[in-house]
Structure 1
Amino acid sequence: MVFWERYVSDESMGTFAPIVVYWIYGGFYQLLPPLDKYRLHTRKEEDEKNSVYLSTVIKGVLLQQLVQATVAQLLFMLTSQTSASGITVQPPFVVQVLQFIVAMLVMDTWQYFVHRYMHQNKFLYRHVHSQHHRLVVPYAIGALYNHPLEGLLLDTVGGALSFLVSGMTARTAVFFFCFAVIKTVDDHCGLWLPGNIFHLFFQNNTAYHDIHHQLQGSKFNYSQPFFSIWDKFLGTYKPYTLEKRPEGGYEARLKKD
């Protein structure tokens, strides 16, 4: 039994919990004090390099989440595994863990190839993907700031495929999509905080993705949100060094060949 079982369905939680988690976790980062000694970019750089207002970013994210919620409801409706008694039979824990891993790999694979193609196709980059790169200096609640078409193709379709291929139930999907959202927000937070568990367990992390957002690294480190497998396998992986700036904070720099 889970805490929401008496109040809402797994399908409703799978639809709306990731949205709530996004704003809570992203808002947490947004409301932190400046923390200049942990920033990957100075606040001056953020103001000068980013070409979109915070209000525009929020509207863009809300639009994408509206589409995601609509697709999620349709997906859960078509794949409902609830029995006649109204109870969803959950697979053993080991099976759920395997489904989690499969879903992570499927999401990474889909997002790598779609993301990379959006960089290589000049039309798609200019008219679609460049919207996300208006945030040259990423920040947490801008993680899902995308062109609506990219939001649909990259995130929404990628999430749907992860759910379908892994065969997970709606209840397992609640945890998977919330985890994916937290990881994505963390990758865009722009902070290298000590003890960040994602930095300990994932090579694809805040600094890794920050490299991709910079001009010199825009053709590398396409992988997201979990692993760096495809970058390494297909030659688009670029290691970095994390160096302290004299004025405080860190800077992720491409390692010289």
Structure 2
Amino acid sequence: MVFWEGYVSDGVMGTFAPIVVYWVYGGFYQLLPPLDNYRLHTRREEEEENLVSLSDVVKSVLLQQLVQAIVSLFMLTLEANGSGVIEQPSLPIQIMQIIVAMFVLDTCQYFVHRYMHQNKFLYRHVHSQHHRLIVPYAIGALYNHPLEGLLDILGGAISYLVSGMTARTAVVFFCFTVIKAIDDHCGLWLPGNLFHLFFENNTAYHDIHHQLQGFKYNYSQPFFPIWDKLLGTFMPYRLVKRPEGGFEARPAKETVQKS
């Protein structure tokens, strides 16, 4: 029994809950006070270095979420149109399905993301849009070219299908994925952040990728750096305190692997 049962279907919830979570959680970060002592980049760097306005970022994300909603609604409601009532698996099976989906999504994201960087045409005309946010921030997590956004959506669909999860389990998985992606782009190193404790692939890890020296490293997202480590594109980070406050994520150059 879940709180939305009897009000909306699992398919509808799985479609729209991640979108609502994106704007609520991303908006929370966006509305925080400056928190200069926890920022990975100064506010001046964010204002001067980013090549796209906040309004354009919002428009682009909304467009991607429109496509996401169409694909998700079709995919997740197929389950409801099947024969009989879908039996929800036990909690251990659901957890295993989510773990499988995490690895499948990471695999899709890594190889698409890496190829976007290696293919000059695709980088110039598609992926470079995301890197217009040289200093990432929370609601820019899904700021992508529409083609790349579609590929990300297909990666999510593949992870859902391969894992065998139900639409109800998918609500949890996709909401968690959205929260993790936002946290990776938030630009803040807040004390007690559980993502920083349990995930090596985190805010600082992804910030390295947005830097010039990390441009061809740290492709993995959103969960684990496994593919980076296996294929030689892993660049670990170290945090350095800035004299004026806050932190800077720097490559730990002595342990960088060669790609």
TM-score class, shorter-chain normalisation, is over 0.9
Give the one of 202, 224, 227 matched to 1:227.
Answer: 224
The TM-score normalised by the length of structure 1 is: 0.97
Tell me, yes or no, if structure 1 residue 130 matches structure 2 residue 128.
yes
**1:97 corresponds to which letter in structure 2?**
I
Tell me, yes or no, if structure 1 residue 38 matches structure 2 residue 35.
no
Give the one of 202, 206, 213 matched to 1:216.
Answer: 213
Task: Name the CA distance, whole Å, in 2 between partners of 1:78 and 1:151.
Answer: 22
Task: Name the CA distance, whole Å, in 1 between partners of 2:9 and 2:148.
Answer: 29
Q: Residue 67 of structure 2 aligns with which residue?
A: 67
Give the one of 245, 251, 254 matched to 1:254.
Answer: 251
Instruction: Answer whether contact 1:81 1:88 (CA < 8 A) is retained.
Output: no
Runs of 4+ in structure 1 off by over 6 angstroms are: none
Task: Name the CA distance, whole Å, in 2 between partners of 1:82 and 1:140.
Answer: 38
% identical equivalent positions: 76
Tell me, yes or no, if structure 1 residue 25 matches structure 2 residue 22.
no
Residue 166 of structure 1 and its aligned partner are, at CA, apart by: 0.2
Task: Name the CA distance, whole Å, in 2 between partners of 1:202 and 1:135.
Answer: 23
**1:218 corresponds to which letter in structure 2?**
F
Instruction: Answer whether contact 2:218 2:225 (CA < 8 A) is retained.
Output: yes
Q: Deviations over 1:36-66 (max 9, x none)?
A: 0000000000011100000000000000000
Task: Name the CA distance, whole Å, in 2 between partners of 1:71 and 1:82.
Answer: 18
Q: Residue 77 of structure 1 aligns with which residue?
A: 77
**1:59 corresponds to which letter in structure 2?**
K
Instruction: Answer whether contact 1:82 1:89 (CA < 8 A) is retained.
Output: no
Q: Deviations over 1:213-251 (max 9, x none)?
A: 111101000000000000000000001110000000000
**2:249 corresponds to which letter in structure 1?**
A
Q: How many residues align?
A: 254
Task: Name the CA distance, whole Å, in 2 between partners of 1:240 and 1:152.
Answer: 30
Instruction: Answer whether contact 2:200 2:224 (CA < 8 A) is retained.
Output: yes
SS, match of residue 253 in structure 2: coil
The TM-score normalised by the length of structure 2 is: 0.96
SS, match of residue 137 in structure 1: coil
Give the one of 142, 150, 153 matched to 1:152.
Answer: 150
Residue 6 of structure 1 and its aligned partner are, at CA, apart by: 1.4
Tell me, yes or no, if structure 1 residue 189 matches structure 2 residue 186.
yes
Residue 81 of structure 1 and its aligned partner are, at CA, apart by: 6.9
Task: Name the CA distance, whole Å, in 2 between partners of 1:88 and 1:177.
Answer: 19
Task: Name the CA distance, whole Å, in 1 between partners of 2:81 and 2:37.
Answer: 49
Q: Residue 47 of structure 1 aligns with which residue?
A: 47
Q: Please, which runs of 5 or more residues in structure 1 have no aligned partner?
A: none
Task: Name the CA distance, whole Å, in 2 between partners of 1:228 and 1:49.
Answer: 27
